[in-house]
Each structure stands twice: as structure tokens, then as C-alpha cells.
A and B are shown apart, each in its own frame.
Chain A
Amino acid sequence: GESVGLHLPTLSVQEGDNSIINCAYSNSASDYFIWYKQESGKGPQFIIDIRSNMDKRQGQRVTVLLNKTVKHLSLQIAATQPGDSAVYFCAELKGNYGQNFVFGPGTRLSVLP
């Protein structure tokens, strides 16, 4: 399988519990953020996004919280399932164009049976 993510921080949660994955970003002027999920050997998949004029955004089983004061982003996954096991990383948009995304290294989520 893909070796990406070998040295990442790992979060282990029991199936059915809630997961919280954190991300610190660098630029207080960043105004758009995305959470991606990356399964082993695959490309990243969009989960949820949030603009800087929001503090919270909810999707299906996922919630993103943005704390601009401390430049912190979190992804909450409710009722974590085995299929949620993956590497999760955040991306911040630091300018007006897509080439200005900065990606975090990610956190590996392992769901225990």
C-alpha cells in the first residue's frame, strides 16, 4: 500500500465514538479552508469546507469548526465508522487562486472495532 502517512500523528477511536481531528494554520489572512480524506493509495477526497466568515459548518456526520483567534481548525466526525479510517488533512487558501493552497501533513485516523 501507499507509504504516505507513515510518520503522521495517529488518532485511534472506538467504532461509534466521535472523532476530533485538529489542524493549526499559519496565516491569519487565509479565508477559505478545506478538509480532505485520503485513503491508502488513493487521491484526497473533499469532505467539507468553510469560509473565514463562518465559525462552524455541518455536513453529513461531519462538522468543521474554525477558531480564527488561535488559527485553529477542527474536524468532528460523529459515530465514527470503519470506513472513516484514513488520513485527514486540512488545506488553507492563502490567496485568491487555487495555487495558493497550503496543505497540512495530516492525521491518521484508525477506527477500532
Chain B
Amino acid sequence: DGGITQSPKYLFRKEGQNVTLSCEQNLNHDAMYWYRQDPGQGLRLIYYSQIVNDFQKGDIAEGYSVSREKKESFPLTVTSAQKNPTAFYLCAASRDRSPMSSYNEQFFGPGTRLTVL
């Protein structure tokens, strides 16, 4: 999976609990991303980070939070404010940092399936 690890593979959470999904990369890529994947829909961007200690909201950031304290790590917290958290969550990384000299292929992790009980 391109040097990106996500853990755990399956995660169960009770309603009202926060939960943190792990994403680690050894590609030395600057940019990292979190996507949510639901049946019948394309990937939707939750948050992204182009550099350490900086991150930006994506299209569906409400109810989620992230941190980027280290280049190789970009954990995602699904908070109790997220109304429909059950989904497949994908983390990705790309070299993306400056205007493209090479295009920004994203390498994906294996995903975490979150189910809220």
C-alpha cells in the first residue's frame, strides 16, 4: 500500500464517543490527506495537510479534527459531533508542496472501516 499504514483496519465505536484513526507514512511526502468513502460515492476530502504543523479543511470537515505534529503522521479524530460517522476512511500522501513540476499522484493506505454502534 505504498508505504502508508492505517490502523486499525476495523474500528467500532459507541455513539457519543470520539475515536482517533492512525495514519503513518514512510514515503517522506510532504502532503497528507484524509478521505471518506461511502457506498456509491466518490472519495470526499475531509482534511489535508501540505506541511508539518499546518492543515486545512476539506469539503466535509465538520465533526472531524486532525493534527500534523510530525511529517510521517496525520491522525484523524472522529468526534461525537459527526452525525454519520460510519464509513471507510482512507489516508493518502503525495509529494505535493509547490506548484506542480510533477503531478501529484496520491498514494493511499489500506483504509479503516469505522462502524458506530
List A residues at the B interface (Cβ < 8 Å): 2-8, 32, 34, 36, 41-46, 49, 51, 89, 91, 93, 96-99, 101-106
Contact = CB atoms under 8 A, between A and B. Distances in A.
Given A93-B103, A96-B99, A98-B94, A43 B40 contact: no
A4 B107 contact: no
A23 to B, nearest CB: 10
B106 interface: yes
24 contacts: A2-B113, A4-B88, A5-B39, A7-B39, A7-B40, A32-B100, A34-B105, A34-B106, A41-B110, A43-B6, A43-B90, A44-B43, A44-B90, A49-B103, A49-B105, A89-B42, A91-B43, A93-B103, A96-B100, A98-B31, A98-B33, A99-B33, A101-B45, A105-B41
Contacts, number: 91
Contacts of A51: 103
Contact of A46 (B99, B107, B111): B107
B19 to A, nearest CB: 19
Interface of B: 1-2, 4, 6, 9, 31, 33, 35, 37-45, 48, 50, 56, 58, 88, 90, 92, 94, 96, 99-100, 103-111, 113
Contacts of B96: 97-99
Contacts of B58: 99
Nearest to B100: A96
Given A93-B104, A97-B50, A98-B31, A105 B110 contact: no
Given A2-B88, A4-B39, A99 B105 contact: no
Pairs of residues from A and B, 4 with the lowest C-beta to C-beta distance, nearest first? A7-B40, A43-B108, A103-B42, A98-B104
Contacts of B42: 89, 102-106
Contacts of A49: 103, 105
Contacts of A93: 103-104
Contact of A98 (B1, B2, B48, B111): B48
